[in-house]
Amino acid sequence: MVKPFSAIQRNTYLEEMENNELDLLVIGGGITGAGIALDASVRGLSTGLIEMQDFAAGTSSRSTKLVHGGLRYLKQFEIKLVAEVGKERAIVYENAPHVTSPEWMLLPIMKGGTFGKLSTSVGLKAYDKLAGVKRNERRNMLNKKATLEKAPLLRKEGLKGSGVYVEYKTDDARLTLEIMKEAVHRGTKATNYTKAETLLYKDGRVIGAKVKDLVTGKTFDIKAKRVVNAAGPWVDDLREIDGSKKGKFLYLTKGVHVVIDQSRLPLKHAVYFDTEDDGRMVFAIPRDGKTYVGTTDTYYDGRIASPRMTQEDLDYILKATNYVFPSLKLEEKDVESSWAGLRPLIHEEGKSASEISRKDETFISDSGLISIAGGKLTGYRKMAERIVDMVAKDLGVKGKCTTDKIVLSGGAVGGSNGLAAFQKEQVKAGMNLGLEKKEAEKLVKLYGSNVKRVYEIIETTGEEAKHFHMPKSLYASLVYGLEEEMTVSPLDFFNRRTGSLFFDIHWVKEWKEQVVNYLSYRLHWTREQREQYIEELEREMAYAMNPEEKVQEKTHA
């Protein structure tokens, strides 16, 4: 049976898109584009999506990985934004509980800090109200003693107490993939490594795009009644091609996160703290035996595809972390991994990076190109609704957005209430297949209800895992990634499919050779391709583990 989202079938999907005019072509496979494709497919529009890198390889795998209302924006009186994305948290959680989990955040109140006791209490209460927070997740105010019981490593000097409240932690890349997979299962045709090189026009109206498959070098003309530019930080590049980059334009700011082992930064709860130097707010979030800390927020005008952590970014985060957790004395060698992402913000005269609004904006050009930029991961569904409402109305398609009720791929676990029982049962099922408990837990957490497919792969394959010198769990993950999540390269697998480049870099080092061998065999790489993919993985590992300057020094040495 031909799988609808297999790396082996990319050419077929592209030919199908070329041979049939679409209702909607979406350019960009980050969370914005994926959300639009899902909504459009659910409403019956024939939809295609092309992504020039891997899905989520732009900003959507490089965020703070929170489904949150953005408490910080209350300070800027962005009431509407906080209310909208705040309410969305519950929907994202219910529809994809396997990639979203509640996380108690502790907001320390320090003498001279951003928020005082009263403003924290009032601010968090307002947040609860605006975001319609569930009763058992509403804010709580703690005195100094109770705060230190929850976070004993916090700086005691100047600590007055804290506010605790709930946000949701996610895996941004996997959330994007689950939306993409759901869209594909509902009819979207989508391929990664396919670039819109130029737009196609008829009588001054945009009617599609000339796209290039960057794996095979083949080009395709994809025609569509409407074209949406959801290219994130590249939105202006396409507006430029369209000759419509006028008025407002993008302003890119870089945000860096670093990953530290829990043995060096042990936190029971996430902490959202002020930096000593510039009073910005930074998260420290526990996850899978690690804690990640970030972010920075600085103007960026380098290569959009490869923002990197510089020495200055690293020093800034370590200094801020050592200030709030002074006994730890963290050093550069404690940083295991890192990532850097670009916020596609809309330029606002006279405002600093942190002050610019995070709300999304839509631009419609004279040619009919619809561009959408800005926004948040959390608000992806509402952004999609606005765009698809517009397209559907234009095309005379009736029906409203219903994606609030659509369970995403992997999310069929009996809702958030059923998740724990589902996980328990499936871990048991995995162990019955001969997996170690830890291996089964990892698969269940990664794939949610799709773990059943991953288990089927284990059941139906004979000696292949052994032949490729891999444990069965890794083998099944890789086959599933290749055949049902369009994994094309080792980096796709280690970064966007499993998150291990950031949260388990030792695992990447242990298995990279076997993963390369298997993908090479299944995708019939030439020797040159194999070398390129290995080089790409090694390069990205080096940049994840070291500041940019050090990697460049080594490469030029």
Ligand X SMILES: Cc1cc2nc3c(=O)[nH]c(=O)nc-3n(C[C@H](O)[C@H](O)[C@H](O)COP(=O)(O)OP(=O)(O)OC[C@H]3O[C@@H](n4cnc5c(N)ncnc54)[C@H](O)[C@@H]3O)c2cc1C
What residues make contact with ligand X under the rule CB under 6 A? 27-33, 50-53, 57-60, 62-66, 68, 195-196, 230-234, 238, 255, 295, 341-343, 375-378
CA dist 294 → 38, 64, 82, 258 (Å)? 31, 7, 21, 7
Locate 86 and state its tokens. Answer: 């705040």
Minimum CB separation from ligand X for residue 266, in Å?
22
**Which is nearer to ligand X, 189 or 512 (by Cβ)?**
189
**Which is nearer to ligand X, 359 or 512 (by Cβ)?**
359
| Interior/surface letters 152-183, b for 16+ CB within 10 angstroms, e for the rest | ebbbeeebebbbbbbbbbbbbbbbbbbbbbbb
**Which is nearer to ligand X, 240 or 553 (by Cβ)?**
240
**Which is nearer to ligand X, 161 or 307 (by Cβ)?**
307
**Which is nearer to ligand X, 141 or 230 (by Cβ)?**
230
Of the candidates 31, 64, 97, which has an alpha carbon nearest to the alpha carbon of residue 295? 64
Minimum CB separation from ligand X for residue 382, in Å?
12
Minimum CB separation from ligand X for residue 199, in Å?
9
Minimum CB separation from ligand X for residue 237, in Å?
6
Minimum CB separation from ligand X for residue 137, in Å?
17
Q: CB of 127 within 8 A of CB of 133?
A: yes
**Which is nearer to ligand X, 387 or 457 (by Cβ)?**
387
- Distant-in-sequence, close-in-space partners of 268: CB < 8 Å, separation ≥ 6: 150, 151, 286
Count the residues in the chain: 557
Minimum CB separation from ligand X for residue 464, in Å?
32
**Which is nearer to ligand X, 217 or 462 (by Cβ)?**
217
What's the per-residue H, E or C state across 317-376? HHHHHHHHCCCCCCCHHHEEEEEEEEEEEECCCCCCHHHCCCCCEEEECCCCCEEEECCC
Of the candidates 251, 482, 505, which has an alpha carbon nearest to the alpha carbon of residue 357? 251
Minimum CB separation from ligand X for residue 139, in Å?
19
**Which is nearer to ligand X, 59 or 416 (by Cβ)?**
59
Locate 408 and state its tokens. Answer: 């995403």
**Which residues share a beta bridge with 104?**
166
Minimum CB separation from ligand X for residue 262, in Å?
20
CA 195, CA 58: separation in Å to the nearest integer? 13
**Which is nearer to ligand X, 317 or 470 (by Cβ)?**
317
**Which is nearer to ligand X, 105 or 196 (by Cβ)?**
196
**Which is nearer to ligand X, 339 or 533 (by Cβ)?**
339
CA 544, CA 503: separation in Å to the nearest integer? 11
**Which is nearer to ligand X, 196 or 387 (by Cβ)?**
196
Tracing tokens 């107490």 back to the chain, one arrives at 161
Minimum CB separation from ligand X for residue 474, in Å?
26
Q: CB of 350 within 8 A of CB of 64?
A: no
CA end-to-end span of the chain: 51
CA 328, CA 274: separation in Å to the nearest integer? 17
Minimum CB separation from ligand X for residue 30, in Å?
2
Burial class (CB in 10 A: 0-12, 13-18, 19+), 263: exposed
CA 30, CA 341: separation in Å to the nearest integer? 13
Minimum CB separation from ligand X for residue 91, in Å?
13
Pairing mode of beta strands 219-229, 22-27? parallel
Minimum CB separation from ligand X for residue 57, in Å?
5
Q: CB of 54 within 8 A of CB of 488?
A: yes
CA 3, CA 452: separation in Å to the nearest integer? 16
The count of C-alpha atoms lying within 13 angstroms of the C-alpha of 142, restricted to the half-sphere facing its C-beta, is 21
